[in-house]
Structure 1
Amino acid sequence: MKRIIYIPFDHLHPKYGSLAGADPKSDLIVLVESARMVTGGSWNKVRLYFLISSARHFKAELEQLGFKVLYVKAATTVDGLKKVAKDYPNLPIICAHPSSHLQSKQLADFGVSFVENDFFLTPRNLFTSWADNQ
C-alpha cells in the first residue's frame, strides 16, 4: 500500500473527493464510525442510521471494485485513524477537505493531507472569496 485514504461518511462516492484517481492496487480505504458521532446527542436517530448504513454499503461497493477497505469503530475519528496508522506505519493519510471546520482542524493536527473537495459546485476557496465580500 502507498497511502491511506480516509473517507468521511458524507463523502461516499467512488469518483469524487479523495477517491478520484484512487488505485485499488495501492490505496487502503478507511471509514471510521466514531463513538462521538454515534452517541452525540444532536444527531437525529434516523439520520444516524442512514449515515452508518450508507457507509457500510459503500464499503461493500468499494470492495467489489477491488479496494481493500477497513471499517473501524473508535472513540473518535482520529483515534480510528491512529489504529490504522499503527497497523500501516509510514503511509500518508489523505482526505478530501471535510465539510466540518472542527473535523478539518482535528485531521490537520493529526497530519492528514487534504485534497480538493469536489462534492460541491463551488471550490472552497472560491466560495470563501465570495462570502468574504458579502
Structure 2
Amino acid sequence: MVLILGVNFNEHKLVKKALETFYALGPAKSERILAKYCIHPRAKVGTLPPKTVTALTAELSTMTIENDARKIVQDNIKRLRDIGTYRGRRHAMGLPVRGQRTRNQTETSRRLNRVERRG
C-alpha cells in the first residue's frame, strides 16, 4: 500500500487512476501532473520511488481538491439560489439544471440536485 495525501492505494493501481479518485481531479489534470513529474501514463503506484510519492503529495496539497472543492461548488449553488436565478431555482427543486428533458427521466437529477430547502 502506498500513501498519497492520506489515502492508501493498492500497489497495482495505475497512478493516473489513483489521482483521478480525488474529487476535482479529472483526466486532464492528472495527465498534466504525470507529465510534470515524468511519470509514464501506464505506471503503477507501487513502482514509484519514494521521492516521487512525496513530490506528488506536496503537489496535491497545494491544489484545491476534495473538501475545499466541494465547498466551492456548494457555495456557488447557494449563491445562485440566493440571487434567484433560473439555475438556482432548478437546483432547489431538484430538477435538471442544464436543459435536460423532464418528461421521462429525471431520477438522476432528483438524486444529484438535492439541496436543503428553506421553508
TM over 0.5: no
TM category (shorter chain) comes to under 0.3
Q: Which has the higher relative contact order, 1 or 2, with Cα contacts under 8 A spaced 6 or more apart?
A: 1
Higher strand proportion? 1
Higher helix proportion? 2
Scaled by the length of structure 2, the TM-score of the pair is 0.23
